[in-house]
Chain A
Amino acid sequence: MSLKNRTILSYAAVALLLILTGFLQSWSVTLVMINLCLISAIMALGVNIQWGYAGLFSAGTVGFTAVGGLAGVLISEAPIYEAWGVGGTGLAITVALLVTLVATIFGVMTLMTPGWKRRWVLTGTVLIGYFLIRLFFDEATDAIEKVDPASAGFLGGLGLPILLSWPVGGLLAALVAWGIGKVSLGLRADYLAIATLGIGEIVIAVIKNEDWLSRGVKNVAGLDRPVPREIDLQESPEFISWVERIHSGALEALTGDERAQALRDFVQYDSGIFVKLCFMALFAVVLLILFWLAQRSLNSPWGRMMRAIRDNEVAAEAMGKNVTKRHLQTFILGAAVVGIAGAMLTTLDGQLTPGTYNPLRYTFLIWVMVIVGGSGNNHGSVIGAFLIWFAWVQAEPAGAWFLDLVTSPLAEDNPVRLHLLDSAAHMRPFLMGLVLLLVMRFSPKGILPEPVRVGR
């Protein structure tokens, strides 16, 4: 079968799977799943840019997701002027000191000759600078966190439309990726993996603990929405009349209170569906744009060069390509795409919940998607994202059903049975690990292999 037919068939299979879920489970559940599939597909595209294009293994996807999520809050929340009032000056001083510190460090680095003397001066500068900054910073953040802690206790954001946070999330993630790539690219491949694992943990720790910035584990709920809210729809006469028209057949037979009740039910259900469809449309547009860009870049001279570097780093270097610089570019691009998806995720959730950023879910699961879908193939990443997210969602009920089946000979209150049923949730990582290992071993090219390009 040609790759083209295989691709079409894969998309058809995914569509069929989702349609079946819609009929067998519920359309609402299916739409929720599709929306997360779309976001996952964007994340997978980002990881595929890093891994499939350039062979870079990053274990910090969760960090880039969280940075993107933070952008959602920073852009869309209304600014809390009181917090700025009490802490703004302190923060401004902090920033000024930080800039001074960095300038001093650069000054020392350029003016003094390397040696132990310079090392001591640098260490001293950093220490003094650190404590000085902490002095102002701690006071400012304390003050900010004391402002109405039950509902605020943070600086808020810029009060702009949340859609703007999508590109900004990408930018912030790119910035973080630039820093980490600068340090760890050019060394062994595993070092990038370790360093990104670290940055992932740190970004999450910051978002969890810097309450003045993100409210930490108190979460920021009720974020701005790019689509209408269900509650507004339910009160909008246009929407109600629209629902009336759609369901006219079902409503016809009813009268009076019965009819009103049925209409209310329809409106309630349909408003949920409508909102999810709006999200779906938005996400699909973003995915299509990013996909188009990713395909363009893959087939451009730049993409060709990236593949050449990936397949033979030594030769590429010998041909005068700056491998480290190219790697940095690709790494940043991939991280930016993940950051966009992170902001989209926060938008969909309507809240930032730092406690939910788990590397197993946001780093390694995306990896499984990319590798199962087919490293280096963008269609593969999308297919992988849909399939793996589907499996991830269904694994728990399926696992529970399976365990229920195998333990059915045991008594209802048998401790082994109860323990196993209780543990069904942990089937997920086990299954994902198994899938990853099996695909790597028996079908390393994934569902949709990287196309063999002429002249490569």
Chain B
Amino acid sequence: MPDFVDILNALALMSNFVFVPALSYGAQLALGALGITLVFGILRFANFAHGDQMAFGTMVVVLVTFWLQAMGVSIDPVPTAFLALPIGIAVAILMSLGIDRTVYRFYRKRRVAPVIYVVASVGVMYLLNGLTRFVIGPDDQRFADGARFLINAREFKEMTGLAEGITIKVSQGLTVLISIIVVIALFWFLQKTRMGKAMRAYSDNEDLALLSGINPEKVVAVTWIIAATLATIAGTMYGLDKSFKPFTYFQLILPMFAAAIVGGIGQPVGAIVGGFIVAFSEVMLTYAYKKVALYLTHGGWEPEGLLQILSTEYKFAISFLILVVVLLVRPTGIFRGKVIT
């Protein structure tokens, strides 16, 4: 039988490798999925370029961070990237608005079928993908600096006397904190401001919004501004947490789409809940529970395998699996988004 310390150790282990990483990853996905869901609600298409828009904004942040670091600017213990973030956001917004002006607006005026937008967004994806790689290259870029840890494993062990430590990176703490602030700000904007309500109205019933005198171009522009801001923040957090690699960001669209659809596409609350569902499923299903089992059986049972439900190579399969289950069981998602045809 496990004793109390064993249980605490197992909990510490789980917190360190499951709870903390999933929480920060979930926050990153949630911000990304919010952008996808807003674009879907207002422009009514699944934006395949979202991952690459994220990569583009993050690239600007990375470059400005490198420049600041070279200039010797530092805001330790906070990563320098936070100083660069506003610039990255500004450039990403300009890029998004520019793309809307040159690409999507044309189709909006013609009121084409949603699938045409999707194809156009694939073109944009290609374009941004090439641009990002052209400027910064396809390789990993590490740009995290400042204090690395809020709590590090050694200190935690000394403090608690447990065998297992908990590590919380500064970037993880900041991810969660900033996500909370951003989400509160966004919800305040959508619920309380005239423009936010106009956005909801436009998403709810486009024709009636037009009959009420709501200017669609303005609504669309604000949507892109928000989506680009959220994407750049999410991308920067993800990059600080792990590293910045353009192809990874392209791949992130799958978990982000899954998050948006699970929550109910077009529903901001849903995107957030969905982001955490996808992140926790991904981390929990790919975590090897061998050591946890050892603690919980007080070393009595040493399993042969790693007790890993799925290998990490299949983490995108989890997003997909969640997606399939939702499409089969409840296509409108948890919060009843707009879905069927």
Contacts and interface: CB of A to CB of B under 8 A. Distances in A.
Chain B CB within 10 A, most for which of A138, A188, A423, A430:
A188
Contacts of B135: 423
Given A433-B126, A437-B124, A441-B106, 11 more contacts: A189-B118, A191-B339, A193-B48, A194-B323, A195-B323, A198-B320, A423-B135, A428-B130, A429-B127, A430-B134, A437-B123
B336 interface: no
28 contacts: A55-B113, A183-B328, A187-B327, A187-B331, A187-B341, A188-B339, A188-B341, A189-B113, A193-B115, A197-B48, A197-B253, A197-B254, A198-B319, A201-B251, A201-B320, A202-B314, A205-B314, A208-B313, A209-B311, A423-B134, A427-B134, A429-B130, A431-B130, A433-B124, A433-B130, A436-B123, A436-B126, A437-B124
A205 to B, nearest CB: 6
B327 A184 contact: yes
A433 B138 CA distance: 17
A433 B125 contact: yes
CB-CB nearest 5 A-B residue pairs: A430-B130, A433-B126, A433-B127, A198-B320, A429-B130
A336 to B, nearest CB: 22
B316 A198 contact: yes
A205 B305 CA distance: 21
Contacts of B103: 437, 441
Contacts of A371: 119
Given A201-B254, A430-B127, A437-B103, A190 B134 contact: no
Contacts of B324: 183, 195
A57 B254 contact: no
Interface in B240-262: 251, 253-254, 257-258, 261
A432 B128 CA distance: 11
B317 interface: yes
Given A57-B115, A195-B324, A198-B323, A427 B122 contact: no
Contact of A194 (B46, B114, B115): B46
Contact of A426 (B114, B116, B118, B133): B133
B86 interface: no
B87 interface: no
A190 B137 CA distance: 30
Interface in B264-316: 305, 309, 311, 313-314, 316
Contacts of A422: 137
Given A57-B119, A183-B328, A197-B254, A190 B45 contact: yes
Interface string A416-447: 00000011001111111110110011000000
A205 B254 CA distance: 14
Contacts of B183: none
A59 interface: yes
Contacts of A254: none
Contacts of B129: 360, 429-430, 433
B131 interface: yes
A444 B125 CA distance: 19
A201 B316 contact: yes
B11 interface: no
Contacts of A55: 113, 115
A202 B130 contact: no
Contacts of A360: 126, 129
B284 to A, nearest CB: 13
B163 interface: no
A391 to B, nearest CB: 13
B1 interface: no
Interface of A is mostly: helix
A210 to B, nearest CB: 10
A437 B314 contact: no
A183 B133 CA distance: 35
B159 interface: no
B120 interface: yes
A427 B331 CA distance: 39
Interface of B: 45-46, 48, 103, 106, 113-116, 118-120, 122-131, 133-135, 137-138, 251, 253-254, 257-258, 261, 305, 309, 311, 313-314, 316-317, 319-320, 323-324, 327-328, 331, 339-341
Contacts of B106: 441
Q: Is the interface of B mostly helix, strand, loop or mixed?
A: helix
A430 B327 contact: no
B118 A202 contact: no
Contacts of B309: 130
A195 B327 contact: yes
Contacts of B131: 430
Contacts of A364: 122, 125-126
Contacts of A441: 103, 106
Nearest to B131: A430
A59 B48 contact: yes
Nearest to A359: B250
A172 interface: no
Contacts of A138: 305
B316 A202 contact: yes
B115 A189 contact: yes
Contact of A193 (B118, B127, B320, B327): B118
A432 B138 contact: no
A321 to B, nearest CB: 15
Interface in A351-375: 360, 364, 367, 371
A195 B311 CA distance: 21
Nearest to A375: B119
Contacts of A427: 130, 134
B176 to A, nearest CB: 27
A430 B258 CA distance: 27
A190 B251 contact: no
A190 B254 contact: no
A433 B123 contact: yes
Nearest to A131: B309
Nearest to A431: B130
Contacts of B253: 197
A188 B331 CA distance: 10
Contacts of A191: 46, 261, 327, 331, 339
Contact of B130 (A130, A198, A209, A426): A426
